[in-house]
Amino acid sequence: MPVEVHLFAAARAAVGESMVTAEAGTLESVLDTIAERYPDFAAVRPRCSFLLDEVACTDPSALVGDESRVDVLPPFAGG
């Protein structure tokens, strides 16, 4: 039951997938896993905000358990 990481806009473009899976851990470890697998993600990552199970999460040490969902949101550009 891995973590689902959903990628949007520039983050999806960098990874080339709209969803990838990672092992449970912390928000930081999940994102590190993606950055290792997809080097282009490293450039967009510092500008992104994150949702953990649909709630904004700014703590890199937040626990991301099995079956959790992480959303990776690049800077908004609406309007």
Partner 1 sequence: MADPGTAVNNGLMGEIRLAEVTETVIDAPTMERLVEDDRAGAIVSFSGNVRDHDHGRSVETLTYEGHPSAEAVLAEVAKEIEGRFDLIALAVSHRVGPIPIGEAALVAAVATAHRGEAFAACQALVDLVKERLPVWKHQVFSDGTDEWVNCA
- Considering only CA atoms, give the Rg of the chain: 11
Residue 76 beta carbon to partner 1: minimum distance, rounded to whole angstroms: 6
Indicate whether 52 belongs to the interface with partner 1 (CB under 8 A). Answer: no
**Using the 8-state DSSP alphabet, how is residue 16 labeled?**
T
* Residue at token pair 């040490």: 61
Indicate whether 76 belongs to the interface with partner 1 (CB under 8 A). Answer: yes
Residue 10 beta carbon to partner 1: minimum distance, rounded to whole angstroms: 4
Indicate whether 71 belongs to the interface with partner 1 (CB under 8 A). Answer: yes
Indicate whether 17 belongs to the interface with partner 1 (CB under 8 A). Answer: no
Q: Which residues contact 62 (CB under 8 A, 6 or more apart)?
A: 26, 27, 52
